[in-house]
Structure 1
């Protein structure tokens, strides 16, 4: 299973999102000091009812917690856009 698939599976399990996009952006950071250890750069867009009533920092912390050890082994940088579904 690729890193993107593992990230997707962890977030899907934790949040049952209505929308989930995971993009591996590592190729744009080749040679970057943080990329030397083999960990990647990723962008995540996630929309879930689980984020309702949570401030942005809490949403980010929840995403980091859901990814657990991957933050130390697979992910060097993570851009997160985590939101509840729009009202209405």
Structure 2
């Protein structure tokens, strides 16, 4: 079972995020190698507009209630609206345009 993938799939389906990061931080703790027990989630979605931080966290916890009950020991949540994310971190830059592999334009 891959807990990280389950978390990602559930959050994508429920929140339709503009940005989602699910980071397994278990290696930073005293757990066996390969553990999936400590996670950090960065979630940016318009669904958080007008919601207090506690309500955002409750919404995420509700979606992940099974994982929290059975697998997750610690869950760090960083929840933002798009405007909050943009104000704090700006936009993610676009990737450069492809130059066609080995072909370069002069």
Q: TM-score, normalised by structure 1?
A: 0.85
Query: Runs of 5+ in structure 1 lacking a partner?
Result: none
Cα distance in 1 between the residues matched to 2:18 and 2:71: 25
Runs of 4+ in 1 over 2 A off after TM superposition: none
Does structure 2 retain, via aligned residues, the 8 Å contact 1:39–1:73? no
**For 1:8-87, what aligned pairs fall within 5 Å after superposition?**
8-31=8-31, 40-86=37-83
RMSD between aligned residues: 2.0
Deviations 1:31-79 (A, max 9, x none): 5xxx8xx660000000001101000010000000011211011111000
Secondary structure at the aligned position of 1:61 is classed as helix
Secondary structure at the aligned position of 2:83 is classed as coil
Larger radius of gyration: 2
Q: 1:27 Cα shift?
A: 1.0
Q: TM-score, normalised by structure 2?
A: 0.72
State the structure with bigger RCO (CA 8 A, min sep 6), 1 or 2. 1
Query: Runs of 5+ in structure 2 lacking a partner?
Result: 87-106
Larger strand proportion, structure 1 or 2?
1
Cα distance in 2 between the residues matched to 1:45 and 1:80: 6
Does structure 2 retain, via aligned residues, the 8 Å contact 1:50–1:84? yes
Alignment CA distance shift 1:2-1:39 (3 Å) = closer
